[in-house]
Chains A and B, each alone.
Chain A
Amino acid sequence: MSEKTIVLEITRKKDSEGDSYVEKFEIPYRENMNVISALMEIRRNPVNADGQDTTAVAWEASCLEEVCGACSMVINGRPRQSCTALIDQLEQPIRLEPMATFPVVRDLVVDRSRMFDSLKRVKAWVPIDGTYDLGPGPRMPEVKRQWAYELSKCMTCGVCLQACPNVNDKSDFIGPAALSQVRLHNAHPTGEYHRAERLDALMEGSGGLSNCGNSQNCVEACPKGIPLTTSIAALNRETSVQSFRNFFGSDRV
């Protein structure tokens, strides 16, 4: 065992019901580690800093290249992906917490179902199914494709919801991620056919677009640099027009 070690303070919770507590770990240092490999080391040898045997810390990960969003957690106070959180760049002790805006399943594992429900609510897809071959859709200008590509980088990781002061247990705000997906799918030449439906979904019920309080933390926190606040403002304009169309009447459905 090398002399250099890594100290981690991990906020743990046995299950969704239990109380959370902080457990400290000290693991041997290796070069080029990330938070995931540190957690793997704890799993290999689940002993805490006091030398007591403990259970392995539960966490989620999938792609290990910051495109799936599964390994998001709060690292030293900031929500981010643990796969791209390099140990050499982190201040120690490294504090790992679950993104508590979401229901905690166990330790660092959270349930992000609400984000996927939100995507369903706003119809964040392009319907192309039919009873016969509909043929190729309209072409998309290259400049627009490049612009839309930025919005398509969203990996539903939940960092923007964690950072948003209006996404919490007292509010049912849908959060920035799903809102931006409406802008993306409305920009698509075929997706645009369902433009009004998606905008209506943002205006109907509670917790929709209008719950945004413009704290603009989301755009600062987004690991993919998605212009979330621009998306929200653009949708504000779209829904302004759409609500007038709905109320006063319009042939453009």
Chain B
Amino acid sequence: MSTNREFFYRRLHSLLGVVPLGAYLIVHFMINYTATRGPEAYNQAAGFMGNMPFLLLMEFVLIYIPILFHGIYGLYIAFQARHNTSTYSYFRNWMFRLQRITGVITIIFIAWHVWDTRIQKAFGAEVNFDMMADIVANPIALTLYIISIIAATFHFANGLWSFAVTWGITVSHRSQRIATYVTLAVFLGMSYVGVAAILAFV
């Protein structure tokens, strides 16, 4: 395996982006969306997640370690590119560039978001509706949240498209084009859920 290290890391990077990180993003957004039904519904859903058995272990195995690997290796990949969308302004070349931009936005956002929520919880703060309402009461924070949510959903949706190519699922031009439409729908749907959820805290 040692000589295949880069191949392995790249494929692992691709896989982790979908499972568990993409799956986690969906679960996270579903919990957030309960805020549109009021603070009680949200507190109940968040409380259910917070009271899971083996929570810390699951957080590490399914979230923290995959995010650190995907994020750090992703930064390495992102800064290897020399973008040339000014010469080749094709749709896919823009997606390539935006995938790297949104990845960087998302990793910076996640660092801040984890500090504001999970690490504050470790310091004794209670995770509930009011915690998020306090954060997004600041219009700058709300704006940054909305931008980052859209960046994350874009990165996830477009990542699904390249996942399908990377693993050799969509080989033909036609299947890749249809995958573009499908992932566009994922992007729009996820963005709606994410933005509607954050606005519910305002």
Which residues of A does B touch, CB under 8 Å? 77-78, 163, 165-166, 168-171, 202-211, 213-217, 220-221, 227, 229-230, 232-241, 243, 246-247
Which chain A residue has the least Cβ–Cβ distance from B87?
A77
B171, CB-defined interface residue at 8 Å: yes
| 21 sampled A-B residue pairs with Cβ under 8 A | A165-B83, A170-B82, A205-B3, A208-B7, A209-B7, A211-B10, A213-B162, A214-B96, A214-B166, A215-B90, A217-B90, A220-B88, A221-B88, A227-B173, A229-B173, A230-B171, A233-B165, A233-B168, A233-B172, A237-B167, A237-B171
Contact A214 to B171, CB < 8 A, known contacts A170-B79, A243-B7, A247-B1: no
Task: For the complex, give the distance between the alpha carbons of A234 and B173 in Å.
Answer: 11
A-contact 0/1 string along B77-104, CB 8 Å cutoff: 1011111100110101101110100000
B84, A217: Cβ atoms closer than 8 Å: yes
Chain B 157-174: CB-based contact to A (< 8 A → 1; otherwise 0): 000011001111111110
Q: Is the CB of A210 within 8 A of B171?
A: no
Chain B residues positioned under 8 Å from A169 (CB to CB) = 82
Complex Cα spacing A246 to B1, Å = 9
Contacting residue for B84 out of A163, A205, A209, A227, CB 8 A:
A163
Shortest distance between the CB of A41 and any CB in chain B (Å): 28
CB-CB < 8 A to B87: which residues of A?
77-78, 163
Contact of B4 with A by CB under 8 A: yes
Q: Are A204 and B93 in contact (CB under 8 A)?
A: no
Q: A203-B7, A243-B4 are in contact. Are A236 and B165 (CB under 8 A)?
A: yes
Which secondary structure dominates where chain A touches chain B? helix
B141 CB to closest chain A CB (Å) equals 32
B121 at the interface (CB under 8 A from A): no
Interface contacts beyond A168-B81, A171-B81, A246-B4: sample of 8 additional A-B pairs, CB < 8 Å, sorted by A: A165-B82, A166-B81, A168-B82, A170-B80, A171-B80, A208-B7, A234-B168, A237-B167
Selected contact of B93 from candidates A165, A168, A202, A208, CB within 8 Å:
A165
Separation of A166 and B88 alpha carbons in the complex (Å): 13
Which 10 pairs show the lowest CB-CB distances between chains A and B? A237-B168, A210-B10, A215-B96, A216-B92, A236-B168, A203-B7, A168-B82, A233-B171, A171-B80, A217-B88
Shortest Cβ gap from A245 to chain B (Å):
13
Interface status of B128 (Cβ within 8 A of chain A): no
Could you mark each residue 1-43 of chain B with 1 if its beta carbon is under 8 Å from any beta carbon of chain A, else 0?
1011011001100000000000000000000000000000000
B86 vs chain A, min Cβ distance (A): 9
